[in-house]
A and B are shown apart, each in its own frame.
Chain A
Amino acid sequence: MARGIDAVTRTAGAGAIALALVLLLTLGTLAAVAVRAESAGGFGVADWAALRFTLIQATLSAALSVVLAVPIGRAFARRRFPGRSLLVMLLGAPFILPVIVAVFGLISVFGRSGIVSQALLALGFEPISIYGFHGVVLAHVFFNLPLATRLVLQGWLAIPAERFRLAASLGMTSRDISRHLERPMLREVVPGAFLVIFLLCLTSFAVALALGGGPRATTIELAIYQAFRLDFDLGKAALLALVQFVLGAAVALIALKVALPSGFGSGLDRAVMRWDANSPVLRALDAALIALATLFLVLPMAMIAVDGIPALTSLPPSVFAATLRSLGVAMASVVLSISLALPIAAWAVKSRSRLVEAIGTLTIAASPLVIGTGLFILIFPVADPFAFALPVTALVNAVMSLPFALRALVPALGQIEADFGRLADGLGMSGWARFRLVWLPRLRRPLGFSAGLAAALSMGDLGVIALFASPDTPTLPLQLYRLLSAYRMDDAAGAALVLLAASLAVFWVFDRGGRVNADA
Chain B
Amino acid sequence: MRTPIIAAGLVGLASVANAQDTLTVYTYDSFVAEWGPGPVIEKAFEARCDCDLEFVAVGDGAEILSRLRLEGARTEADVVLGLDENLAEAARETALFAPHGIESPQLDLPIEWQDELFLPFDWGYFAFIYDKTKVDNPPTSFEELADSDLSILIQDPRSSTPGLGLILWVKAVYGEEAGAYWERLNDQIVTVTKGWSEAYGMFVEGEADMVLSYTTSPAYHLIAEDDDTKAAAAFDDGHYMQIEIAGKVASTEQGELADMFMDFMLTDGFQSAIPTTNWMYPAKIPTEGLPDGFETLHEPESALIYLGAEAEAIRDDAIEEWRAASTR
Contacts and interface: CB of A to CB of B under 8 A. Distances in A.
Contacts of A45: 320, 323-324, 327
Interface string B205-218: 11110000000000
B116 to A, nearest CB: 24
Interface in A1-59: 44-46, 48-49
A230 B205 contact: no
A489 B200 CA distance: 13
A216 B195 contact: no
B206 A112 contact: yes
B29 A214 contact: no
Contacts of B57: 471
Given A230-B159, A232-B66, A487 B200 contact: yes
Given A214-B189, A232-B66, A471-B56, A485 B195 contact: yes
A124 to B, nearest CB: 16
A487 B4 CA distance: 23
B198 A485 contact: yes
Given A320-B5, A321-B8, A485-B29, A226 B191 contact: no
Given A112-B206, A131-B191, A472-B56, A232 B70 contact: yes
A191 interface: no
Contact of A384 (B1, B71, B195, B323): B71
A213 B29 contact: no
Contacts of B324: 44-46
Nearest to B57: A471
Contacts of B9: 324
B62 A230 contact: yes
Interface in A318-341: 318, 320-321, 323-324
Contact of A215 (B69, B201, B326): B326
Query: Which secondary structure dominates where chain B touches chain A?
Result: helix
A324 B1 CA distance: 12
B281 interface: no
A486 B327 contact: no
Contacts of B322: 215
A215 B200 CA distance: 19
Contacts of B206: 112-113
A131 B66 contact: no
Nearest to B316: A231
Query: Which secondary structure dominates where chain A touches chain B?
Result: helix
A317 B6 CA distance: 10
Interface string B197-235: 110111011111000000000000000000000000000
B320 A46 contact: yes
B74 interface: yes
A84 interface: no
B190 interface: yes
Interface residues of A, number: 43
Contacts of A212: 191
A45 B197 CA distance: 29
Given A232-B66, A317-B4, A486 B197 contact: yes
A95 interface: no
B22 to A, nearest CB: 12
A384 B74 contact: yes
Given A112-B207, A113-B206, A485-B197, A214 B192 contact: yes
B67 to A, nearest CB: 8
Contacts of B208: 112
A111 interface: yes
B5 A226 contact: no
A228 to B, nearest CB: 8
Nearest to B55: A471
A213 B191 contact: yes
A482 interface: yes
B251 interface: no
B12 A321 contact: yes
Interface string A299-318: 00000000000000001011
A263 interface: no
A421 interface: no
B58 interface: yes
Contacts of B30: 486
28 contacts: A44-B323, A44-B324, A45-B327, A46-B324, A46-B327, A48-B327, A112-B205, A112-B207, A113-B206, A129-B207, A132-B191, A213-B193, A215-B323, A216-B189, A216-B192, A226-B156, A229-B70, A232-B66, A232-B69, A317-B7, A320-B5, A321-B12, A323-B5, A386-B71, A485-B29, A486-B33, A486-B198, A487-B198
Interface of B: 1, 4-5, 7-9, 11-12, 29-30, 33, 56-58, 62-63, 66, 69-71, 74, 156, 158-159, 186, 189-195, 197-198, 200-202, 204-208, 320, 322-324, 326-327
Interface of A: 44-46, 48-49, 111-113, 129, 131-132, 209, 211-217, 226, 229-232, 315, 317-318, 320-321, 323-324, 376, 384-386, 471-472, 482, 484-487, 489
Given A113-B205, A213-B191, A318-B8, 16 more contacts: A45-B320, A45-B327, A113-B206, A129-B190, A212-B191, A213-B156, A214-B156, A214-B192, A231-B158, A232-B69, A315-B4, A320-B8, A386-B71, A472-B56, A482-B29, A487-B201
